[in-house]
């Protein structure tokens, strides 16, 4: 009887999660006002498997971070590790040092996009990126590049705005993920106008970090991250999820 009560209590738990309202296909996006994407589906399924009901809300990225910092949201779907974020978010223990954490939701690569008439190919040195270097506001990739001495224009919110800025200026580069630019490049506005690099400039683990003001216990956080890993490593389930996008 005690076990049944405990399980029933666990099953009633809800977790409020915010996500960036920008188009980050196929990982997180918004359709008809509802958060969607591979990361959302992995997290939702993992939480359901261990008795949580996930409530997702799409917000501007900085508002999402602030909501987690103040405890209005329990977690973020998804975020890479940053020391500044770790002040108010619980990450898996290996998040700071791991290049590819087993506790990640997924690994995401960043590439360089230039105008179609550019011959630039990334050769391993970020200081060679064509200026101005454009990256979305508040994203960790912008800070990573700045730490390496790159001047980054991160005034715009979202990758598509940066693509538009690149084409308007006719020079520079956009740092983004290949999945996003491959979709955008098929739009009439961008078709034939972009050169998409092949070599990743960075690969990052993305997590479901939990607010330090959330009531979710350390034991439950670890259960959640472990279940996310099980979903991510299940090829059959991942094929089913990916087929939706």
- Give me the residues paired with residue 54 across strands: 15
pLDDT tens for the 245 residues of the chain, in order: 333 333 444 456 899 999 999 999 999 999 999 999 999 999 999 999 999 999 999 999 999 999 999 999 999 999 999 999 999 999 999 999 999 999 999 999 999 999 999 999 999 999 999 999 999 998 999 999 999 999 999 999 899 999 999 999 999 999 999 999 999 999 999 999 999 999 999 999 999 999 999 999 999 999 999 999 999 999 999 999 999 99
Q: What is the pLDDT of residue 12?
A: 63
Domains and CATH numbers, the chain: 2-105+207-242 (3.40.190.10), 107-203 (3.40.190.10)
Residue 1 pLDDT: 37
Residue 28 φ then ψ, to 5°: -140, 135
Q: What pLDDT, on the 0 to 100 scale, is given for residue 7?
A: 41
What does pTM read for this prediction? 0.84
Distance CA 169, CA 115 (A): 10
pLDDT in the model for residue 68: 99
C-beta atoms surrounding 1 within 10 Å: 5
Instruction: Tell me if 201 sits within 8 A of 175, measured CB to CB.
Output: yes
pLDDT of residue 9: 44
Give the max Cα distance, the chain. 70
Q: What is the DSSP string of 58-106?
A: EE-HHHHHHHHHHTSSSEES-B---HHHHTTEE--TTTTT-SS-TT-SE
């Amino acid at each position: 009887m005690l076990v049944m009560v405990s399980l029933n209590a666990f099953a009633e738990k809800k977790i409020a999660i915010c996500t960036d309202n920008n188009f980050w296909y196929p990982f997180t996006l918004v359709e008809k006002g509802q958060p969607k994407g591979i990361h959302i589906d992995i997290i939702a399924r993992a939480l359901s498997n261990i008795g949580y009901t996930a409530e997702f809300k799409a917000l501007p990225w900085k508002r999402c971070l602030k909501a987690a910092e103040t405890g209005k949201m329990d977690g973020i779907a998804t975020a890479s590790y940053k020391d500044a974020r770790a002040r108010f978010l619980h990450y898996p223990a290996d998040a700071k040092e791991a290049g590819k954490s087993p506790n990640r939701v997924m690994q995401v690569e960043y590439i360089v996009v230039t105008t179609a008439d550019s011959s630039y190919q990334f050769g391993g040195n970020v200081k060679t990126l064509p200026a101005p270097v454009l990256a979305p506001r508040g994203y960790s990739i912008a800070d990573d590049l700045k730490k390496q001495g790159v001047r980054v224009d991160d005034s715009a919110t979202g990758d598509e705005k940066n693509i538009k800025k690149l084409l308007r200026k006719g020079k520079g580069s956009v740092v983004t993920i290949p999945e996003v630019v491959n979709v955008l490049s098929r739009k009439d506005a961008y078709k034939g106008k972009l050169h998409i690099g092949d070599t990743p400039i960075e690969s990052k683990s993305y997590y479901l970090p939990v607010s330090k003001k959330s009531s979710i216990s350390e034991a439950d956080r670890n259960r959640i991250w472990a279940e996310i890993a099980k979903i991510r490593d299940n090829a059959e389930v991942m094929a089913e999820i990916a087929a939706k996008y």
